[in-house]
A and B are shown apart, each in its own frame.
Chain A
Amino acid sequence: MADGTYIHFVWAAYGVTGIILAAIVLMSILKHRSLKKENPE
């Protein structure tokens, strides 16, 4: 079966998941980078 029934729901779900995961990864990397610059070590 590959007639694409409900495929727009699949794209929506994968899109939202991608956005949330990208956001948490990006936030973590940016925070780490800015703290590394500030670190007295």
Chain B
Amino acid sequence: MSNALFALANPARFRKVGMPLLWVSSAASAALFAWGLWLALLASPADYLQQEAVRIMYIHVPAAWMALGTYSSLAFAALSFLIWRHTLAGLYIRAMAPVGAAFTAICLITGSIWGQPTWGTWWVWDARLTSVLVLFFLYAGIIALADAFENRERGLKAAAWLSLIGMVNLPVIKFSVDWWNTLHQPPSVSSFARMVEPAVDKSMLTPLLAMAGAYLFLFIALAVLRLESEIMSRRIESARMRRNHG
């Protein structure tokens, strides 16, 4: 596994497997979005208490999973970049921080829209909501730092350090609903015990997982596309520098 990852860390090798992966994941994402949206908006039942508002769960919860998952992948890439100096890992941080920020923004905005009919408020400064807002600011910081220096490598290094430091926020987000008395509900499917016996009915769990799959394949497609762009941008910059110096 680690050998395969190290082999893929070579930009040339990555580009060879990248294109087929891009097409497969794009097609899988489109198919899952079509199925998931049909289930979420038409086929699944409304909740007896939340009424139609429960349908927001199918876009809100997978966005939260992706926001946390993307950040974990950034931290892993940061570690590879800082310890093993993998070029692709540094480029991954730059390429995927905006995607993580987009998922976090979706999570925050849809959560706020869901909060109004169910809690009677758009926003409360409770531990879960605040820690997810901090996650959004961390993504914004990483995006800003990666472009803040004239020297590209220095920018990537600073962004990598922030990605690593920001990891402390992930357990805070995950366990905030257990550690503090929050308005946000505890997990329904994300803990191991809940995976075995979820608190969500199958008629609602299926669209939730379909949408999570759609987000995941979209993430993979975007990762390939944006990494390719980063590699090309680096090549263009190197060619420009070679021209300027001789």
* Residue positions of A touching B, CB distance < 8 A: 1-7, 9-10, 12-14, 16-17, 20-21, 23-25, 27-29, 31-32, 35-36, 38-41
Given contacts A6-B50, A13-B110, contact A24 B99 (CB under 8 A): yes
B102 touches A20 (CB 8 A): yes
* Chain B, range 32-61, C-beta contacts under 8 Å to A: 41, 45-48, 50-53, 55-56, 59-60
Query: Bound complex: CA of A1 vs CA of B53, how far in Å?
Result: 12
B110 nearest in chain A by CB position: A13
Q: Mark B95-109, 1 if CB is under 8 A from A, else 0.
A: 000110010011001
What chain B residues lie within 8 Å of A23 (beta carbons)? Answer: 102
Query: Bound complex: CA of A36 vs CA of B15, how far in Å?
Result: 13
A21 touches B45 (CB 8 A): no
Q: Is there a chain A Cβ closer than 8 Å to B194's Cβ?
A: no
A16 touches B109 (CB 8 A): yes
B229 touches A35 (CB 8 A): yes
Of the candidates B63, B106, B114, the one having the most CB atoms from chain A within 10 angstroms of its own CB is B106
B41 touches A14 (CB 8 A): yes
**18 sampled A-B residue pairs with Cβ under 8 A:** A1-B48, A1-B51, A3-B51, A4-B52, A6-B50, A9-B53, A13-B56, A13-B114, A16-B113, A17-B109, A20-B106, A28-B229, A32-B225, A35-B229, A36-B232, A38-B232, A40-B235, A41-B235
A41 nearest in chain B by CB position: B235
Q: Mark B179-212, 1 if CB is under 8 A from A, else 0.
A: 0000000000000000000000000000000000
Q: Is there a chain A Cβ closer than 8 Å to B157's Cβ?
A: no
A10 nearest in chain B by CB position: B55
B222 touches A24 (CB 8 A): yes
B232 touches A6 (CB 8 A): no
Query: Bound complex: CA of A9 vs CA of B235, how far in Å?
Result: 46
Return A31 CB to nearest CB of chain B, in Å: 5
Closest 7 CB pairs of A and B: A5-B51, A6-B53, A1-B46, A35-B232, A13-B110, A13-B113, A6-B117
A33 nearest in chain B by CB position: B229
A39 touches B232 (CB 8 A): yes
A5 touches B113 (CB 8 A): no
What chain B residues lie within 8 Å of A36 (beta carbons)? Answer: 232
Query: Knowing that A31-B229, A32-B226, A39-B232 are A-B contacts, what are 13 other residue pairs whose CB atoms are under 8 Å apart, sorted by A's residue number?
Result: A3-B51, A6-B50, A9-B53, A9-B56, A13-B114, A14-B59, A16-B109, A17-B63, A17-B110, A20-B102, A21-B106, A25-B222, A36-B232
Given contacts A9-B117, A13-B59, contact A32 B228 (CB under 8 A): yes
What chain B residues lie within 8 Å of A2 (beta carbons)? Answer: 46
Return A1 CB to nearest CB of chain B, in Å: 4
